[in-house]
Every structure is written in C-alpha cells, then in structure tokens.
C-alpha cells in the first residue's frame, strides 16, 4: 500500500535535498507542465528551499488557464441562450472574458448556471430538467477527458436528448512540441512532466522530447520527495549531457498508461487542432466529438461558432504560460489583478501559477 506520508518525511526530503545540492554543478532551469505540480512546489515549501541555482518556471499545464478567450466567450454565448442550463466546474465561474464578463456575472444577470463536482451530475440534471438543454463545459487534458467520454456514452445509453457538451479538451504532448519549437521560448534544461496525465497516456507519447528536442524529461509525482527526486534525475542528466525520458512516478504511471481509459477517450473523441491562450492554434492539440456522437456537440446543437477575440487588455497570462514571464513580474500582479479581482485565468484557477505566487507571497 502507498504510504503518502513517507514522501513528506522531513529526514528523507533533507537527504534528497543534500543529494540535489551535491549533484548541482551548474544552474538548472526546469519547467513543470502541470498545475498540480505548481501548487505542490509552493504548498510544500519547496519553492523556498531549493538551491538558488535552480530556476522554476510554470508551463501550460493548468486546464483553466490555457482555455482560450474565444472559448470563454462561447461559454457566455451558451449561457445566454433560452432554455439552456450551463453545467460547469467551479473554477470556470470567475474566468474573465475580454469584455470583462464571466459566468459568475452572467449568473447574476439571470443566466442559469449550475456548479457541479462531476460531469455525471449533469446527466442527473438533464433528467430532472427535461424542458432545458443541459450544456456541460468540458475543459481539461487527458486526465479528465476519459471521464467526459464515459459521461457522453452514458448519455447515449440513457437516450438523453437534452444533454450536450462544449468540448475544450486539449492534449499535452502537442503543446510541449509547440512550446519547444518556439524560437523565443525560454532556455530550458529539463521538463517536469505531468503525473496525472501520464497515468492515462503512459510514457511513450513523450519520446519525441528526446528524439526531436534532446530535452531531459522526468515524469514526476506530486509529493515533496517525488519532486526532489525528479530534480536529482534532471541534474544527473545535465551533468552527463545525456538526455533521457525518466519515469519517476512508477508507482502510478505504467509504460502504456491506462489502455481502457485511452480506449474510451478515443471511442468518443478524435484529435483536432486546439486553441491555447497565449499560443493560438496548435495542430492536433485539441479533441472534438466523433461523428457518431456529434449530436452531443453544444455548438452544433445551438448553431454557435467560436468567434475571434482580442486578448485580455494588460493580461500577461499568455507569456506566463509559455514560461517567458514570472507571475510577479506582471505589472498587474498583486495590484489590479488579485484573487478577489482577477484580470486573467492564471489568478483564478486553484492550479494557476499567479494564484500560487499570490497565495504564498512570492
């Protein structure tokens, strides 16, 4: 049985920190691409005790943060429709659109919006409200997409005609490729790859990081000892000059991931281009419903389309998600933009790097 407390053990972490400091021969800049890693690094106190020669950048791994302005505007368009109830997770409620509106303000102005804890709750809502179309707002990476797929399969089995999904799900490997292909990207020595996503997709989808980019990469867990061990692996690869793809999170990540979850996901969804905040359209980085399930597509059902938008004025979320700016370097950070009055989604989401910097006073 996994003993989580063991990975918080101060003596173990102290030994790993000593080993990391001994291994470190030169400055090391790494990027984590998972919002949970962002919060873990801050919450555990690691941010304050890592060697000064280690620079930590947050990447495009927060699902709410990478949601594009066009998609946020579509949320609001959907919420404004008659006989529609929007079903969503709580993090999306306060994400501002380019014109300053949010689902929360839409709700205050009369839109019917229900905050749920599971997409399956939306099916119950559809059964209770047969005279309304229930639209679930689906954002996230490969971690949650199989659950959304299973929900849609259940809606099909229940023959629900008043349930639809706005699909803004995205894929991690293509966005990493786009990030590393950017000539203006920050110089990185290593990547800390997302543990949760990897439990679904496994190790193989990241092999291009070595073959195409020679980028040392570690799939890491989320406890302090996991992160420290991952950094030790990075420092060792930096010292030898031999980039590898290492799975530190072996207790949960299998080589082939979770084939059943992948099968459900691929049965319902197909790959398409994906929109990312601050980056734009990335080839084969999004997911859409296959034709077999097209009747559950909310945009098609309502006759809506994604519209071009202007970026949020003054918001640096796009640069922060690409690792080009630290949150506390944004002119709005902690002044105009706070958790109580967020200008951008990186300050809204519980996994956003701006929210982490603000909460832990960095």
pLDDT digits (tens, 9 = 90+) for 156-175: 999 999 999 999 999 999 99
Query: Please, which residues bridge with residue 29 across strands?
Result: 55
Cα angle: 330, vertex 334, 338; to 5 degrees: 110
Q: What is the mean pLDDT of the chain?
A: 95
Q: Which of 110-124, 136-150, 240-254, 299-313 has the lowest mean pLDDT?
A: 299-313
Give the start-to-end residue ranges of the domains of the chain.
26-315, 317-359
Here the tokens at position 61 are 């791994």
Q: Which fold has domain 26-315?
A: Rossmann fold (3.40.50)
User: What pLDDT is stored for residue 6 in this prediction?
Assistant: 58
The region of weakest confidence among 57-61, 130-134, 254-258, 310-314 is 310-314
> Does residue 350 surpass a pLDDT of 70?
yes
Rounded-to-integer distance, Cα 352 and Cα 344, Å: 10
pLDDT, tens digit, 9 for 90 and up, residues 58-97: 999 999 999 999 999 999 999 999 999 999 999 999 999 9
The token pair that represents 53 in the structure block: 């020669």
pLDDT digits 0-9 by tens, 174-229: 999 999 999 999 999 999 999 999 999 999 999 999 999 999 999 999 999 999 99
> How big, in percent rounded to 5, are the helix, strand and coil portions of the chain?
45, 20, 35
- % of the chain beyond a pLDDT of 70: 98
Tokens of 218: 């570690």
- Range with the lowest mean pLDDT among 7-16, 49-58, 82-91, 141-150? 7-16
Phi, psi of 121 (to 5 degrees): -60, -30
Which range, of 5-9, 69-73, 354-358, averages the lowest pLDDT?
5-9
Compute the average pLDDT of residues 140-155. Answer: 98
pLDDT of the residue at 361: 82
With a CB cutoff of 8 Å and minimum separation 6, the contacts of 123 are 151, 154, 155, 158, 160, 163
Provide the pLDDT for residue 1. Answer: 44
- At 120, the pLDDT band (50, 70, 90 cuts) reads very high
Condensed to tens digits (0 to 9), the pLDDT of residues 23-48 reads: 999 999 999 999 899 999 999 999 99
Portion of the chain with pLDDT greater than 90, in percent = 93
pLDDT at residue 4 in the model: 59
Instruction: Name the pTM for this structure.
Output: 0.93
Mean pLDDT lowest for which of 72-76, 281-285, 306-310, 331-335?
A: 306-310
Question: What backbone phi and psi angles, to 5 degrees, belong to 193?
Answer: -85, 155
CA distance 86 to 79: 6
């Amino acid at each position: 049985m996994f003993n989580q407390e063991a990975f918080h053990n101060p003596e173990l972490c102290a030994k790993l920190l000593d080993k990391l400091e001994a291994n470190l021969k030169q400055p090391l800049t790494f990027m984590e691409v998972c919002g949970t890693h962002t919060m873990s690094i801050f919450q555990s106190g690691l941010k304050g005790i890592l060697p000064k020669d280690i620079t930590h950048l947050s990447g495009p791994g927060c699902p709410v943060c990478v949601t594009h302005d066009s998609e946020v505007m579509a949320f609001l368009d959907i919420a404004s429709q008659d006989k529609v109830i929007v079903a969503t997770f709580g993090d999306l409620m306060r994400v501002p659109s380019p014109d300053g509106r949010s689902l929360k303000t839409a709700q205050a102005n009369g839109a019917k919006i229900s905050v749920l804890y599971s997409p399956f709750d939306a099916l119950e809502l559809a059964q209770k409200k047969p005279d309304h179309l229930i639209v679930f707002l689906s954002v996230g990476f490969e971690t949650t997409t199989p659950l959304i797929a299973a929900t849609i399969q259940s809606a099909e089995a229940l023959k629900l005609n008043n349930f639809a999904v706005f699909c803004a799900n995205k894929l991690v490997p293509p966005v990493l490729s786009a990030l590393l292909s950017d000539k203006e990207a920050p110089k990185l020595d290593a990547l800390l790859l997302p543990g949760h996503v990897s439990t679904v997709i496994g190790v193989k989808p990241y092999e291009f990081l070595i073959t195409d980019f020679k980028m040392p990469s570690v799939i890491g867990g989320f406890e302090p000892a996991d992160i420290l061990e991952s950094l030790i692996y990075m420092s060792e690869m930096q010292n030898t000059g031999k980039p590898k793809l290492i799975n530190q999170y072996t207790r949960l990540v299998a080589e082939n991931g979770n084939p059943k979850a992948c099968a459900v996901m691929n049965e319902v969804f197909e790959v398409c281009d994906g929109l990312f905040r601050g980056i734009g359209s990335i080839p084969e980085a999004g997911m859409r419903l296959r034709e077999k399930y097209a009747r559950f597509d909310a945009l098609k059902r309502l006759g809506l389309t994604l519209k071009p938008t202007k970026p949020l004025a003054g918001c640096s979320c796009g640069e922060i998600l690409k690792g080009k700016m630290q949150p506390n370097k944004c002119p709005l950070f902690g002044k105009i933009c706070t958790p109580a009055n967020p200008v951008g989604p990186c300050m809204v989401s519980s996994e956003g790097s701006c929210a982490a910097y603000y909460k832990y006073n960095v």
